[in-house]
Amino acid sequence: MTSHVRILRVLGGTAVALLACAAQAEPSGTPGWQDEPHLDIIPRTAEETARIAAVTERTSDFGAPESFEQNPGGAATTRYIGTADAFSQFSANMRFESELDFKVGNGIFRKLWVGAPSSTKGSDGLGPLYNARSCQNCHIKDGRGHVPEHPEDSRVSAFLRLSVPGGRDQPLIPDYIPTMPEPVYGGQLQDLALEGYLAEGRMEIEWSAVPVTLADGTVVELRQPRYGIDGYRYGAPHEGLMISPRVTPQMIGLGLLESVPAADILALADPEDRDGDGISGRPNIVWSDELGRPLLGRFGLKAGKPTIREQSAKAFADDMGLSTPLFPGASGECTAAQSDCLSATAGQEPGIRDGLEVDGQALDLVTFYARNLAVPERRNVDDPTVLRGKEIAYSIGCTSCHNPKFVTHRLNDQPEQSFQLIWPHTDMLLHDMGDGLADNRPESRATGREWRTAPLWGISLNKQVTGTENYLHDGRARSLIEAILWHGGEAQSAREAVVALPTQDRKALIAWLESL
């Protein structure tokens, strides 16, 4: 890490004025994209800033757990539950009077929506084109989605993003890569439809085996996916169609990630790799439809959304065709070429609930729910094998992208997320992950080879929560070692180090990941 980045880490949340020094190649664009107008922030004192710099410094002592390491979500951490409900608990420091909001938000998150017109005015308006009937259908028990294993399997928690080159430039976002939704099929393939309507098509996957031999002779068989679309129901797509497969990510800890100071994230950026470590993370800067300005991207697999509320509203629109205050179109993302979709009956009676299918209060409740899904406490944190695995992860460079810890903002109106030491193991920056993981589809300023560093907290509990193991952006990896072996680009040297590990050290590394 270069000296100017070290300075920023010490200055923490007071360092906004020095961001240009931390990333000299990073154009400033419009002043203010580093701001966080959606948060009610209490500025840090000089004493707090110094204390934070000390507590977030990378450790070099692996003989015992660090202080508070067992609680990755700070005081919001919930106790570990050995069932499928491990990701469905609320922040442990939540005020009693807020629990009802969480539970009502959960009810909306789990609600099965129906088509309009319907006698159930509180639940109609689905589609008419959609990917799922509820949020919970995709985020299974608030965990990850999974890729279909067989041709006849449901695609409900896996989908395809669509775009084509071109569209308007965005001069307020430096290095923006212009793209636009596919003219007929929009920005996402909807593979389900209400009766009487045509679904857009069906995601198809072909698998091929890619064996990798480790230094100890172990052979790990990776699976290489090849994606396509069967049955374009509205005609042939644009010749420049770009497809990006996605499985839905786990939901825990989102409010804590939203509360990490932008300055502390940007302090980790090194777009020109000035320190020569091969890691050149950089922020995605995205347009906020809610606030009408560029902001730092944090959510989504390419950090394409700046806030939980906007991410939630976009999911209502694209996944279920439901209108919200942010995206009030009653037909979701149906295009002008889909006239039957645009003329479909909207949900809700005129004048009821603002005339929206998901009104402002409902969106706020879902946002509160998503913000407060708690991170479970770690297991076996003091186990010698786990500690050895932690030492290996730090020594081979895993933490260059999977940054262990942050301290969140002090916040006036979010006590659950306010001033917490958290251990998400992400820097929330974009990194080039190589050809093997490239989707070749840009998103704002993220290239077709870049992905946001995925948080590692709770990663090993997904099989317990959802019944299956699928990792990476498209669920191709069926185990943690498979996920590691797909890493390339900036992570190539760490991957090669894992390949070369002795058997016991490799098992220790996996044990550490399984403890998170």
The structure tokens 């797909």 sit at 486
Distance CA 236, CA 245 (A): 19
Q: What are phi and psi of 355, to 5 degrees?
A: 70, 10
Question: 487 lies in a domain?
Answer: yes
Question: 222 lies in a domain?
Answer: yes
List the structure tokens of 514: 């399984």
**Domain encompassing residue 186:** 115-249+303-358
Whether residue 477 sits in one domain with residue 352: no
Distance CA 108, CA 112 (A): 9
Run of H or E residues at 310: helix 308-320
Question: 480 lies in a domain?
Answer: yes
Whether residue 446 sits in one domain with residue 391: yes
Question: 366 lies in a domain?
Answer: no
Whether residue 149 sits in one domain with residue 50: no
How many domains is the chain built from? 2
| Amino acid identity for residue 27 in this structure | P
Whether residue 15 sits in one domain with residue 160: no
Predicted local confidence at residue 16, as pLDDT: 35
Whether residue 190 sits in one domain with residue 326: yes
Whether residue 218 sits in one domain with residue 245: yes
Whether residue 220 sits in one domain with residue 86: no
Run of H or E residues at 296: strand 293-296
Question: 156 lies in a domain?
Answer: yes
The DSSP secondary-structure symbol of 439 reads: -
Predicted local confidence at residue 30, as pLDDT: 54
| Amino acid identity for residue 28 in this structure | S
The structure tokens 């990378």 sit at 58
pTM for the whole thing? 0.93
Whether residue 413 sits in one domain with residue 511: yes
- Report which of 126, 87, 101, 51 is spatially closest to residue 322, judged by C-alpha positions: 126
Predicted local confidence at residue 150, as pLDDT: 84
Give the pLDDT of the chain (516 residues) as one tens digit per residue.
333 333 333 333 333 333 333 443 354 445 589 999 999 999 999 999 999 999 999 999 999 999 999 999 999 999 999 999 999 999 999 999 999 999 999 999 999 999 998 888 889 999 999 999 999 999 999 999 999 888 888 889 999 999 999 999 999 999 999 999 999 999 999 999 999 999 999 999 999 999 999 999 999 999 999 999 999 999 999 999 999 999 999 999 999 999 999 999 999 999 999 989 999 999 999 999 999 999 999 999 999 999 999 999 999 999 999 999 999 999 999 999 999 999 999 998 767 778 899 999 999 999 999 999 999 999 999 999 999 999 999 999 999 999 999 999 999 999 999 999 999 999 999 999 999 999 999 999 999 999 999 999 999 899 999 999 999 999 999 999 999 999 999 999 999 999 999 999 999 999 999 999
Question: 317 lies in a domain?
Answer: yes
The DSSP secondary-structure symbol of 218 reads: -
Neighbouring C-beta atoms of residue 459, cutoff 10 Å: 18
Whether residue 270 sits in one domain with residue 397: yes
Question: 296 lies in a domain?
Answer: no
Distance CA 7, CA 267 (A): 9
List the structure tokens of 335: 């295009």
Predicted local confidence at residue 31, as pLDDT: 58
Distance CA 391, CA 398 (A): 10
Whether residue 81 sits in one domain with residue 191: no
Q: Count each helix (H run) and each strand (E run) in the chain, helices first.
A: 15, 15
Predicted local confidence at residue 9, as pLDDT: 38
Distance CA 141, CA 163 (A): 30
Inter-residue contact 363 to 313 (CB < 8 Å): yes
List the structure tokens of 230: 């069967």
Predicted local confidence at residue 201, as pLDDT: 95
Predicted local confidence at residue 237, as pLDDT: 95
Distance CA 85, CA 106 (A): 13
Distance CA 457, CA 404 (A): 10
Whether residue 241 sits in one domain with residue 182: yes
